[in-house]
Structure 1
Amino acid sequence: MNLAVIGAGPAGLALALLAAERLPRAHIHLFDTRPLDRDVGADARTLALNLGSVHLLQRLQAWRPEAAQAIRAVHVSQAPPAPVAGEVWMRAADLGVPQLGAVLPYGALVAPMQRRWLDVAARAPQRLFTRFGTAVHALRAQPGGVELDSGDAHLAERFDLAVVAEGGVFAEQARKAIAHDYRQHAWVGSVRLAAPGLQGTAIERFTRNGPLALLPLPDDADGPRAALVWCLPDAEDDIGALSDAQRLVVIQQQLPAVAGRLTGISALKRFPLGLNAETRLLQGRTLRIGNAAQTLHPVAGQGLNLGLRDAQALVDALRDAAETGRDLDAALARIDRQRAPDRWPMIAATDFLARSFAWRLPGLPAARGLALAGLELAGPLKAALARRMMFGG
């Protein structure tokens, strides 16, 4: 098999590494527009991984635990004013696992994955090819394959399968089959906290206008800190016009007591939010994974985890076809069916939550509070939900 992987972000690198390990006869070409000498380790964007994703990276020998903060508990609650506040605690200890997931900077995830790929590729140069600094301009369906135009000279190459793993952010994407602009945006940055900080607890707070999340980061020389994500409607932005000091006060007022006291805030960046998803992952011999297949609202923090599971499912299907001699097209055709029980509930759940913050129904805050309170009391249901968030469906 001649496989092209387009995009060397987390999903693309995971796919390339898995395919290199589990498809020993495959020729794998990893494309990315960024030059190989660009320092991806300096990218400070924050990523949240569930436990299943951590296990995958450990297996790929691309996990650096010293760069990550383990999530040992998640606290979900609703900010006042609300008739019923409601809160849910999910703790790793209650589920018999060492952690629920981890938080780390984008660069601290991608740089080790890229180094691992280069190491693996150096040991198999006859079948693993690193095509960094190479743009892919077009993909054209061919009988039994796909033709790819790449490089400055638009070189045409034929592959048995091309996997698009470069999705980008919602504002920059061409619209897919299912698309909805939520007319919301996320303010993203980091905050400083008074000691002892969050100590491995992730905070999800449902405010009147949208979800507010604090994700614990490893302490640095200046003490405890956390990543901040606050989603707000475009028409009701309480943050954009404020000074840093004012932002700190407003955010503190929205947080539960368990978050502790905020002592500082970084510059914040603003990102538009929307849903942009393909109904089918496969079109001919081109398949999409990760953000190229589904870009979700960040309310559940599951977009990257979903993309990594896309990569695993694809490699499993390709390996099964190679070992059993099954037709490649038949194996690929099953991908959409296999991924549906994982993809569609997550797409539907995040879409429902994102839209619900635009509703101004009188009883909605009470209903949300009652749902949180009921979930906290329903031990088996809470455990099942936690395990789905840790490992997918």
Structure 2
Amino acid sequence: MSDEVTPLTTPFPGLPALPGFPALPGFPDRRRGSGDPVKGLLHRYRELCERAVDPLEIAAGLEAHGITDRTAARFRHRDVFSLAEELYARAPRGTDGADAADGPIPADGPIPADGPVPAHGERAGARARWWTVLTLLPGAVACLTLVELERSTGQRQLATALAGALALSGVLSVCLRRGPLRADGRRLPAAGLWVYGLLAYLLCGDGLLDELVTGGPDGPWPATTTPLTALACAVAPAAWCAHLFSVRARRRLAESHGLAEFTAGARPLLLALVGLHVCLLTALAATANLVFDENGALAPTVTLGTLLLLARLLTVHGFPDAAATGLAVAAAVEVLSCASVLAGRLPGCDPLAVPVTRVVEMWGSSAVPTLACGAAALGLLGHAAVTLSRASAHTRPQHI
């Protein structure tokens, strides 16, 4: 028999060798006298371990690099959390070059004996009150604009609509830069264009599609304003759902003893909060129709609001590409639906308009945005159920 050892193919390049397997380049071979498998891992992720403020941050960083509980068992630990605790305890930190054996320095640093203790709770409460007020402003602006539109005519009505649109856009921009809807990481400017396109279609797309199917448009098509008002009012519950998800997920992360345990708790939490937001948005849309005496379709409003919430959650937690993709797909389907009806008027292109025409005749024009936004929302929900149930999605971004 040959004494030659067959190399082990590993999906984690750079990890130290384990008993019975050959050492990887740059790491000591345990069969040649190295009895500390964690030392090589500490060297590999030294920057992460030195900058981490708690073991959870290290655990999230390791998970982002593909290290699972099974891998942690190869390092003589029951799970990634236990491995992260050892790495945190052994990592040197501080500016005086203290040895790691002296123990970790608290993340917030020592409090001077003669200095006041900072009131973190009071500051957090003040910030919560501030962004709560901010998230109520879009709904207030939208309601006031709609009331003024019903009381005005002619040029005054046009000026009111433009002023209300600009004010609403400004208030929404402020809301997205404060509180739980704030995204500190990379954002895609194109995502904003898709959002405005979806909102524009919600405002007047159904009327345009009805006109196109019947041979028009022969003049200005009708617009429905209550769906936009409902979405503006839904900014506040969306912010609170995002806040609850972030707080509960981090709390569950601190209480979990393994990645599988955290995932098993985070995924139902996400689904429950999305379901809560759907219920609140449905109630707001029905109330807006009742108060302003309009017959706005509920399904397009609810599906678009759900799509926007999921896209923002993914962006906040560091996945802007997936969010922009979902928004772009929904907007493209809506635009192509109208374009296909127009293209069907060309000689020999009648079949292009058949699918959209059949859908409108069977379920009404509101079925098109419902199907477009609903399908995109389901796709983002599936993606979020996977990505947002990882520990790495609930810590600060790591550059390791």
Question: What interval of TM-score do these two structures reach, taking the shorter chain for normalisation?
Answer: under 0.3
Which structure carries more relative contact order (alpha carbon 8 Å, separation 6+)? 1
Rg larger for: 2
Whichever structure has more helix as a proportion of its residues is 2
TM-score by length of 2: 0.26
TM-score, normalized by length of structure 1? 0.26
